[in-house]
């Protein structure tokens, strides 16, 4: 089965303007039986020049390159993942992650572009000055391409346009306490005012949708019982907040995006809003699609994230939401902290940092679960590469297609691995996936046609609208 809409499209042709140019050697040529292009998984030769895909020809065409890679029959060339939800935490909380370890982990997991969240770093990315500080901190350290979200907080209305002009991909806001005091949340009215501003320059508001008052009325999370923690972050709090985002997007005409959807209850109203023409998109994350509240041991704070991992029935409906197109994409929400802050010794869900580290594992996690459900690899890549690239307006990323950046991995879908958290590139060795057996291994990752070697940082800093 394949739900990739472009699957019938012809993907071949050389982009070179003349026969002479077409026959000149490429910088790199890949040949294989399984190349994931816009025509699906097909036998192709891919020619790369100056970091871009410049030829896609049937296997056997004999494209010549300065370097030639012949894929083995069990290997698939896939586009690099685009992960639009990553907390790198540098500068300010570099002990939680940082650009070097984050981008190495990303590359090892097949991610070639990440967009960094505006909070948990210090300063938060809520002014142009703070954006410049973050760019300076990232410079020379990134092994993949990195872009930045701005933040919308009370009082920075006048900074939004400047941040947009400086190339942020959109603005994140919270509708309840963000987890860090220096990034305060907006009321729904404040969010609406900022949305009206963003609509003027067609920027995007991305929202952590849990309602502050609903959470205040819920039971407290204290103690080591997962059930208590789950009750402290009820679906109702998400549902109310999602409804606010929908209505405020409707009223202002702004584009809005629901981050890390966990409550499947919200899917019907999102689908209805879309039918009404409200400009709303939705993401969910590997932890909501692969883990189950019923299986989380008490005290296992590695599983704590907000909104929380919910019940099996909820998970099934999230998968359904992906398959019917209500949910657009799957991104990590990689939100690590130090092991200390996860309060592993006491296992108190009220005290532990809320965030799951999974940047390196997203593809294998989702592929393992997708395979079990009979969902094919092109569909997975649509959710994890093409769609997030579209969300961020990255028109030259997210596919192996003519003119696109040559960002890709060689993936072995039938190989297996057992996760050892100490072997990951993540800075802090804590993950709910430690010890899990997963299908799918990334054998190597290339950025703009160059192999990522984990020594020489090849990454660039991306700005909205770059081509």
Q: List phi, psi (to 5°) of 375.
A: -95, 135
Closer to Zn ion by CB, 194 or 333: give it.
333
* Nearest distance in Å: CB 354, Zn ion: 10
Of the pair 178, 326, the CB lying nearest Zn ion is at 178
Measured CA to CA, the distance from residue 432 to residue 435 in angstroms comes to 9
Q: C-alpha 380: how far from its chain's center?
A: 13
The least CB distance from residue 208 to Zn ion, in Å, is 7
Q: Is 145 in the site for Zn ion (CB under 5 A)?
A: no
Is the separation of the CB atoms in 425 and 360 below 8 Å?
A: yes
- Smallest gap from Cβ 10 to Zn ion, in A, equals 39
CA separation for the pair 319, 325 (Å, rounded): 10
Within 298-337, the residues that bind Zn ion by CB under 5 A are 333, 335
Q: Which is nearer to Zn ion, 197 or 333 (CB)?
A: 333
Please state the closest distance from residue 306 (CB atom) to Zn ion, in A.
9
Neighbours of 33 (CB within 10 A): 16
Nearer to Zn ion, 54 or 335 (CB): 335
Nearest residue (CB) to Zn ion, 333 versus 405: 333
Least gap, CB of 117 to Zn ion (angstroms):
5
Near Zn ion in 371-390, by CB under 5 A = none
Q: What is the distance, to the nearest Å, from the Cα of residue 6 to the centroid of all Cα atoms in its chain?
A: 22
Give the bridge partners for 61, in sequence order.
none
45 or 210: whose CB is closer to Zn ion?
210
Reference 366, options 440, 445, 262, 267; nearest CA is: 440
The nearest distance, CB 96 to Zn ion, in angstroms, is 13
Smallest CA-to-CA distance from 85 within 114, 56, 105, 112 is with 114
- Min. distance of Cβ 335 from Zn ion in angstroms? 5
Output DSSP code: residue 118: S
Query: Considering beta carbons, is residue 97 or 333 the nearer one to Zn ion?
Result: 333
Least distance CB 392 / Zn ion (angstroms) = 15
Q: How far is CA 35 from the centre of its chain?
A: 22
Q: Where are the beta strands (DSSP E) in 306-431?
A: 329-330, 408-418
Q: How far apart are CA 26 and CA 423, in angstroms?
A: 36
Q: Which is nearer to Zn ion, 211 or 333 (CB)?
A: 333
Q: How far is the CB of 4 from Zn ion (least distance, A)?
A: 28
Tell me phi and psi for residue 206, to 5 degrees: -110, 130
Q: Where are the beta strands (DSSP E) in 212-355?
A: 255-258, 280-284, 329-330
Helix (H) or strand (E) holding 398: none
Count of residues touching Zn ion (by CB under 5 A): 2
The pair of three-digit structure tokens given for residue 258, joined into one six-digit string:
């629901």
In terms of CB distance, is 124 or 335 closer to Zn ion? Answer: 335
The contact set with Zn ion (CB under 5 A) reads: 333, 335
């Amino acid at each position: 089965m394949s739900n990739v809409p472009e699957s019938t499209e012809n993907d071949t042709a050389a982009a070179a303007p003349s026969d002479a140019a077409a026959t000149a050697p490429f910088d790199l040529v890949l040949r294989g039986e399984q190349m994931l292009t816009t025509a699906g998984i097909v036998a192709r030769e891919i020619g790369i020049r100056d970091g871009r895909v410049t030829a896609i020809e049937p296997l056997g065409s004999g494209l010549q390159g300065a370097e030639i890679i012949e894929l083995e029959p069990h290997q698939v060339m896939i586009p690099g993942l685009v992960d639009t939800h990553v907390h790198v935490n540098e500068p300010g909380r570099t002990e939680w992650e940082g650009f070097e370890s984050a981008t190495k982990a990303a590359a090892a997991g097949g991610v070639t572009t990440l967009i960094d969240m505006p909070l948990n770093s210090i300063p938060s990315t809520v002014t142009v000055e703070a954006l410049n500080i973050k760019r300076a901190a990232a410079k020379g350290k990134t092994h993949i391409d990195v872009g930045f979200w701005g933040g919308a907080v009370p009082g920075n209305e006048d900074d939004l346009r400047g941040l947009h002009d400086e190339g942020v991909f959109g603005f994140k806001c919270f509708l309840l306490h963000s987890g860090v005091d220096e990034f305060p949340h907006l009321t729904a009215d404040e969010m609406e005012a900022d949305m009206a501003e963003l609509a003027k320059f067609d920027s995007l508001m991305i929202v952590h949708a849990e309602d502050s008052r609903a959470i205040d009325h819920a039971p407290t999370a204290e103690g080591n019982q997962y059930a208590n923690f789950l009750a402290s972050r009820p679906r109702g709090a998400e549902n109310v907040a999602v409804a606010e985002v929908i209505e405020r997007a409707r009223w202002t005409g702004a584009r809005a995006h629901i981050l890390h959807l966990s409550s499947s209850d919200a899917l019907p109203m999102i689908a209805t809003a879309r039918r009404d023409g409200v400009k709303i998109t939705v993401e969910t994350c590997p932890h909501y699609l692969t883990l189950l509240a019923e299986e989380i041991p008490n005290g296992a704070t590695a599983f704590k994230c907000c909104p929380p991992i919910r019940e099996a029935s909820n998970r099934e409906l999230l998968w359904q939401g992906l398959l019917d197109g209500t949910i657009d994409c799957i991104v990590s929400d990689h939100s690590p902290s130090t092991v200390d802050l996860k309060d592993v010794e006491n296992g108190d869900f009220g005290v532990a940092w809320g965030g799951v580290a999974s940047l390196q594992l997203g593809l294998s996690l989702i592929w393992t679960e997708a395979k079990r459900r009979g969902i094919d690899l092109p569909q997975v890549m649509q959710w994890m590469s093409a769609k997030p690239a579209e969300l961020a307006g990255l028109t030259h990323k997210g596919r192996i297609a003519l003119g696109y950046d040559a960002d890709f991995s060689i993936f072995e879908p039938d190989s297996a691995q057992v996760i050892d958290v100490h072997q990951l590139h993540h800075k802090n060795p804590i993950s709910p996936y430690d010890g899990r057996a997963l299908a799918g291994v990334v054998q190597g990752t290339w950025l703009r046609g160059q192999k990522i070697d984990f020594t020489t940082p090849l990454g660039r800093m991306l700005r909205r609208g770059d081509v």
